[in-house]
């Protein structure tokens, strides 16, 4: 395999390269050629003109094109140009497929697209996908694509971008262009090695929040407030035409199955809902994130070291536009070292495609690095006849990276320290808030929840039961003759008994139940998803445990219990009053008993 990268701004420069001896020699020994076009120009005519020029020189080549948010050549960012990567394979087959994304349900399209590919391609070594996340639900497409996979071959690629953020990207395969769809380039045979790596480098800045309402790709509410308010409150971002650009550096971070993901906002609507290219689910915990440049570069170095061990012949990078936006002029610090390993090209994407096992995902804010080599027994950098490769002296060829200026990375260092500072301050505030919340919710003496928190818990249970037709019960209990204990032995000993009682009860109830100190020696247990019969059994068990326990100084103690279940539509006050009456009845019947009403 030989990988050649050129940059052009006119068809004449492309034709100049296609007439060189270097190109002709590569074509002579290749069984297949794969060409990737990374272009800032989203004009269909430009893409078609490139394909026409290439087709004359390579009638059977597979030519894939994509519009970008920045082009990568020789590991460096280029802007407002077109990068063309030629992969000349000696032992690997290449085949292309294209599907329009407006032909039906995205998940079903993904599944049928995969079936078409796997039926036509018996020996799949890997698949590159280019898609249009702005104009179709690529997440659902990949979900369908994943569901039918028969092998664990690598799948990688990226989402087409648009410099003007007009959400009009373009992909092209062999002269067929579309602004809504997915193209696949399939690598065939067992003589090619494809390795993939990805990393994020984003870290949490804000407190954790809960996604509370969604509609497809739209997040409508976060912490029960319109989703846009989060970005407006924390970052002063406005609901205007610059929303996408202003949010690029601040994706929402979340964890699924222990893996951290970033989701970048696309747009905001009049209802202040925010659209993402990948789905977020109700109940998921998220926070606003920000990239840490030092972490990014450190992880890039780690990936580069791993890639170098396999001695690849080509490297392709699919890097989120967020990274370019964050690192600005220092973005090459992350990508340039790849060129020291193998010829490196790629583009800045809107969404990165990456497979884990049989699952293919649309990521955000990541870098996906893909290395390739053919198993041909030859060292990289040598021609088949053993002669050293000759480099044509064309003006459009890219110079090798120069040594880095040690003063150029100050921007990233400053940002990294600010991110660290903000994160530490945020963690300190979270700790302080957690402790303040604990003090506000707990009884100081026994550490059971206080009456105010119990009120809040019951109100939430009432809403849940009314909405879903569920049930819950409460147990009100009071220590018998406790005033006599305080009068005889003092309040300090009485306090010790109360603390011991709470510990006993905590062992007898479930983790979903709530124990609160209702007042003095009176306590309330709230039991979700429990009918009165179940609550009565729990109350009786607690009664027996208390009766059999030897408290401080060998004292014996009993409790009386009132049990009741919530009746749909009643108020909190009515529910509590019924439990209180049941407790009073237990008292007048001789104490140390359980009454249900």
CA separation for the pair 566, 84 (Å, rounded): 70
Rounded mean pLDDT, 403-416: 51
* pLDDT exceeds 90 at position 386: no
Beta-sheet strand order (sheet of 314-320): 76-78, 71-73, 344-349, 314-320, 367-374, 192-199
Share of the chain above pLDDT 70, in %: 91
Tokens of 417: 């320290």
Residue 395 binned pLDDT confidence (cut-offs 50, 70, 90) = very low
Instruction: Report residue 478's pLDDT band, with 50, 70 and 90 as the boundaries.
Output: very high
CB proximity list for 58: less than 8 A, separation 6 or greater:
27, 33, 35
pLDDT-based confidence at residue 379 (cuts at 50, 70, 90)? very low
> What is the pLDDT at residue 398?
39
Quickly state the pLDDT bin for 532 (edges 50, 70, 90).
very high
Q: Is residue 383 part of a domain?
A: no
Number of domains comprising the chain? 3
Any alpha helices (H) in 443-557, and if so which ranges? 451-468, 482-489, 491-508, 532-548
Could you tell me which residues come within 8 angstroms of residue 36 by beta carbon, excluding any fewer than 6 positions away?
Answer: 64, 65, 66, 84, 85, 87, 316, 345
Residues 589 and 490 in one domain: yes
Residue 69 lies in a domain: yes
Residue 586 in domain: yes
Residues 136, 218, single domain; the answer is no
Q: What is the pLDDT of residues 195-207, one digit of tens each?
A: 999 999 888 888 8
Given 3-state DSSP classes, what are the helix, strand and coil percentages for the chain, each rounded to the nearest 5? Answer: 35, 30, 35
Q: What is the dihedral of CA 10, 12, 17, 19, to 10 degrees?
A: 160
Number of residues that make up the chain = 597
Provide the CATH number for the domain around residue 538.
Answer: 3.30.70.270
Pairwise CA distance, residues 151 & 568, whole Å: 53
Task: Judge if 466 and 549 occupy the same domain.
Answer: yes
Cα three-residue angle 184-185-186, rounded to 5 degrees: 110
The residues that bridge with 320 in the sheet, in sequence order, are 349
Which tokens hold the place of 450?
Answer: 């206080």
Q: Residue for token digits 């306590």?
A: 523
What pLDDT band is residue 413 in, cutting at 50, 70 and 90?
low
Whole-number percent of the chain with pLDDT over 90:
67
Q: Is the same domain home to 134 and 239?
A: no
The reported pLDDT for the residue numbered 432 is 78
Q: Of 343, 377, 411, which residue constitutes the final position of a domain? A: 377
Residue 464 φ/ψ, nearest 5 degrees: -65, -45
pLDDT at 391: 36
Task: Write the CB contacts of 499 (distance below 8 Å, at least 6 apart in sequence).
Answer: 445, 446
- DSSP letter for 553, please: G
Residue 394 lies in a domain: no
In this structure, are 196 and 206 located in the same domain? no
Computed on alpha carbons and rounded to an integer, the radius of gyration of the chain in Å comes to 33
From residue 123, how far is each of 117, 118, 119 by CA, in Å? 11, 9, 10
Per-residue pLDDT at 493:
93
Mean pLDDT of the chain: 88
Segment holding 425, helix H or strand E: helix 410-441
Q: Which residues of 432-453 are buried (b: 16+ CB within 10 A; e: fewer)?
A: eeeeeeeeebbbeebebbbeeb
**Residue appearing with tokens 């660290």:** 420
516 belongs to a structural domain: yes
* 428-432 average pLDDT score: 76
| CA distances in angstroms from 325 to 11, 281, 403, 410, listed in the order given | 30, 27, 23, 16
Residues 479 and 469 in one domain: yes
Query: Do strands 594-596 and 559-565 pair parallel, antiparallel, or not at all (unpaired)?
Result: parallel
With 60 as the cut, is the pLDDT of residue 405 above it?
no
| pLDDT tens for each residue of 116-159 | 999 999 899 999 999 999 889 999 999 999 997 888 899 999 99
Residue 433 lies in a domain: no
164 and 75 within one domain: yes
**Does residue 255 register a pLDDT over 80?**
yes
- 305 and 331 assigned to the same domain: yes
Structural domain contains residue 315: yes
* Same-domain pairing of 273 and 307: no
Q: Is the pLDDT of residue 292 over 60?
A: yes
**Measured between alpha carbons, how far is 13 from 349 in angstroms, rounded to an integer?**
26
Is there a single domain that holds both residue 287 and residue 358?
no
Query: 242: buried, middle or exposed (CB in 10 Å: 19+, 13-18, 0-12)?
Result: exposed
Kindly report the CA angle at 59 between 57 and 65, in degrees rounded to 5? 85
The residues, any chain, with a CB within 8 Å of residue 574's CB and separated by 6 or more, are none
Q: Looking at the domain assignment, is residue 408 inside a domain?
A: no
Per residue in 172-231, pLDDT (tens digit) is 999 999 999 999 999 999 999 999 999 998 888 888 899 999 998 899 999 999 999 988
Domain boundary, last residue among 377, 401, 423: 377
595 HSE (CA, 13 A, CB side): 21
**What pLDDT sits at residue 152?**
87
pLDDT for the residue numbered 347: 96
Dihedral sign for Cα atoms in the order 241, 221, 102, 129: positive
Taking a C-beta distance cutoff of 8 angstroms, is the pair 346, 38 a contact?
Answer: yes
**Which of 307, 311, 278 is closest to 369 using CA atoms?**
307
Q: Within 10 A of 169 (CB to CB), how many other CB atoms are there?
A: 25
**Same domain membership, residue 192 and residue 55:** yes
**pLDDT digits over 465-474, tens only?**
998 889 999 9
154 and 126 belong to one structural domain: yes
* Angstrom distance (rounded) from CA 449 to CA 334: 51
- For residue 551, give the 3-state DSSP assignment: coil
Neighbour count for residue 369 (Cβ, 10 Å) = 26
State the Cα–Cα distance between residues 198 and 319, nearest whole angstrom.
10
99 within 8 A of 113, measured Cβ to Cβ: yes
* Enclosing domain of residue 135: 2-200+293-377
Sign for the CA dihedral angle at 71, 74, 75, 76 comes to negative
Q: Map residue 393 onto helix, strand or coil.
A: coil
Q: Name the domain boundary from 262, 291, 320.
A: 291
For the chain, the maximum distance between any two Cα atoms, rounded to a whole number of angstroms, is 107
């Amino acid at each position: 395999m030989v990988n050649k990268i050129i940059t052009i701004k006119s068809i004449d420069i492309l034709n100049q390269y296609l007439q060189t001896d270097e190109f002709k020699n590569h074509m002579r020994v290749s069984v297949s050629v794969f060409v990737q076009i990374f272009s800032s120009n989203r004009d269909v005519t430009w893409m078609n003109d490139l394909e026409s020029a290439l087709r004359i020189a390579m009638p059977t080549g597979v030519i894939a094109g994509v519009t970008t948010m920045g082009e990568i050549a020789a590991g460096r960012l280029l802007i407002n140009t077109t990068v063309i990567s030629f992969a000349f394979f000696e032992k690997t087959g290449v085949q292309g497929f294209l599907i329009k994304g407006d032909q039906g349900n995205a998940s079903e399209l993904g599944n049928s697209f995969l079936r078409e590919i796997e039926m036509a391609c018996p020996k799949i070594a890997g698949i590159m996908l280019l898609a249009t996340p702005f104009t179709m639900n690529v997440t659902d497409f990949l979900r369908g694509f994943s569901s039918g996979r028969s092998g664990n071959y690598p799948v990688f690629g990226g989402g087409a971008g648009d410099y003007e953020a007009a959400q009009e990207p373009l992909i092209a395969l062999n002269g067929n262009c579309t602004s809504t769809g997915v193209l696949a380039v399939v690598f065939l045979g067992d003589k090619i090695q494809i390795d993939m790596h990805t990393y994020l480098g984003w870290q949490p800045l804000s407190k954790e929040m809960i996604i509370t309402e969604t509609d497809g790709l739209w997040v409508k509410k976060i912490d029960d407030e319109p989703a846009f308010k989060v970005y407006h409150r924390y970052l002063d971002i406005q609901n205007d035409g610059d929303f996408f650009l202003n949010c690029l550096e601040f994706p929402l971070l979340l964890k699924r199955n222990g893996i951290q993901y970033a989701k970048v906002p696309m747009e905001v609507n009049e209802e202040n809902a925010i659209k993402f290219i990948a789905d977020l689910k109700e109940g998921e915990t998220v926070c606003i994130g920000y990239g840490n440049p030092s972490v990014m570069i450190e992880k890039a170095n780690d990936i580069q070291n791993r890639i170098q061990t396999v001695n690849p012949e080509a490297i392709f990078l699919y890097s989120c536009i967020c990274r370019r936006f964050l690192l600005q002029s220092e973005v090459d610090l992350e990508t340039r070292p790849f060129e020291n390993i193998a010829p490196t090209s790629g583009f800045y994407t809107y969404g990165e495609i990456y497979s884990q096992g049989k699952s293919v995902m649309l990521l955000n804010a990541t870098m996906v690095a893909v290395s390739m080599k053919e198993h041909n027994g030859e060292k990289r950098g040598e021609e088949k006849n053993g002669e050293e490769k000759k480099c044509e002296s064309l003006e459009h060829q890219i110079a090798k990276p120069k040594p880095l200026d040690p003063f150029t990375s100050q921007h990233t260092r400053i940002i990294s320290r600010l991110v660290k500072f903000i994160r530490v301050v945020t963690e300190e505030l979270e700790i302080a808030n957690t402790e303040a919340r604990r003090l506000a919710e707990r009884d100081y003496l026994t550490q059971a929840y206080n009456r105010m928190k119990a009120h809040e818990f019951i109100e939430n249970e009432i809403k849940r039961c009314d909405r879903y037709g569920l049930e819950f019960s409460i147990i009100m209990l009071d220590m018998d003759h406790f005033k006599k204990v305080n009068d005889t032995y003092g309040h300090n000993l009485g306090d010790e008994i109360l603390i011991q009682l709470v510990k006993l009860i905590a062992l007898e109830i479930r983790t979903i139940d709530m124990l609160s100190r209702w007042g003095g020696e009176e306590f309330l247990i709230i039991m979700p998803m429990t009918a009165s019969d179940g609550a009565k059994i729990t109350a009786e068990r607690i009664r027996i445990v208390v009766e059999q326990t030897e408290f401080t100084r060998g004292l014996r103690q009993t409790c009386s219990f009132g049990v009741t279940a919530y009746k749909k539509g009643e108020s909190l006050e009515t529910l509590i009053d019924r439990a209180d009456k049941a407790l009073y009845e237990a008292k007048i019947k001789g104490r140390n008993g359980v009454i249900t009403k």
